[in-house]
Copies of this chain bind each other. A is one copy, B any other.
Amino acid sequence: MQQDLNTRRIEAFSDGIFSIAITLLVLEIKVPSADMVQRHGLALSLIYIWPSYLAYIISFATILVIWAHHHWVYSAIKKSDLKLIYWNGLLLLFVTFVPFPTGLLAEYLLHSEAKVATSLYTGTFLAISLSFHGLWRHASANEKLLGSETKNATRITYHYRLAPIFYFASFISSFYSEATGIALCLLSALYFAVGGWPRS
């Protein structure tokens, strides 16, 4: 079984879920209501829903970065076991969940309770980074799962180790200021897209 559920199949299934979750995000951008358009005109209405675009872009960038790191990590993992499958399943559970807090943030960012929406949003990314961390810890602690590219492996540990810290900071700051929480969330995505990338 373990040999059959090899990493190639898990990667293909995960890729499918990543690409669908990232494409479903657009469904959370709602066409402005007839009522809103009558009051403000279509052009202004399209500008007023800017939180939808912001939430769309941050979620898109973050899932894209996670997908890239997922591929990178799996290029070092050569074998799979049950625990790895569960860590991966937990990661996918949170990734497919992303469209919900994205839609929530789009609708409530300009609302008096924006902090609640932002906390769920950043909290989801914190959960993603923690399950990703768990996945990597389990794989790197287990010599049988890794291939011989130990050097690469060490570098991965170093870089992505920071993700839970970044998203924890983003999550905590959401309770005090939605703008800070979202800014940290966007900066984290940019950091792991650029700075957290291995130089081969």
Contact = CB atoms under 8 A, between A and B. Distances in A.
Interface of A: 1-5, 9, 12-13, 15-27, 29, 31, 37, 41-43, 46, 56-57, 60-61, 64, 67-68, 71-72, 75, 82, 85-86, 89, 92-93, 96-100, 103-104, 107-108, 111, 113, 116-117, 120, 152, 193-194, 197-198, 200
A179 B46 CA distance: 21
A198 B1 CA distance: 7
5 contacts: A4-B72, A24-B26, A27-B99, A43-B116, A64-B92
In the complex, which of the residues A25, A31, A86, A89 has the most CB atoms of chain B within 10 Å of its own CB atom? Answer: A31
B16 A46 contact: no
A71 B71 CA distance: 21
B18 A15 contact: no
B96 A9 contact: no
Nearest to A43: B116
A117 B3 CA distance: 39
Contacts of A12: 15
A97 B200 contact: no
A46 B107 CA distance: 13
Given A2-B200, A23-B21, A27-B99, A117 B60 contact: no
Contacts of A75: 1, 4
